[in-house]
Amino acid sequence: MNQVVDFINVNRDRYVDELKQYLEIPSISALPAHTADVRRAAEWTRDALQLVGMENVRLIDTPGNPVVYADWLNAPGKPTILFYGHYDVQPVDPVDLWTSPPFEATVRDGEIYARGAADDKGQVFMHIKAVEAHLKKNGSLPLNIKFFIEGEEEVGSVHLDDFVREHKQELAADVVVISDSPMFDRGIPSIC
Q: Is 108 exposed, middle or buried (0-12, 13-18, 19+ CB in 10 A)?
A: exposed
Measured CA to CA in angstroms, residue 192 lies from 46, 125, 146, 181, 184 at distances of: 24, 17, 16, 7, 11
Q: Which helix (H) or strand (E) holds 82?
A: strand 80-86
Instruction: Give the separation between CA 150 and CA 38, rounded to whole angstroms.
Output: 10
Measured CA to CA in angstroms, residue 118 lies from 45, 86, 152 at distances of: 16, 11, 16
Nearest to 37 by CA among 118, 154, 146, 129: 154
Nearest to 87 by CA among 175, 3, 23: 23
Residues designated as active site? 88, 153
Is 160:96 a contact under the CB 8 Å cutoff? no
Instruction: Give the separation between CA 15 and CA 127, rounded to whole angstroms.
Output: 12
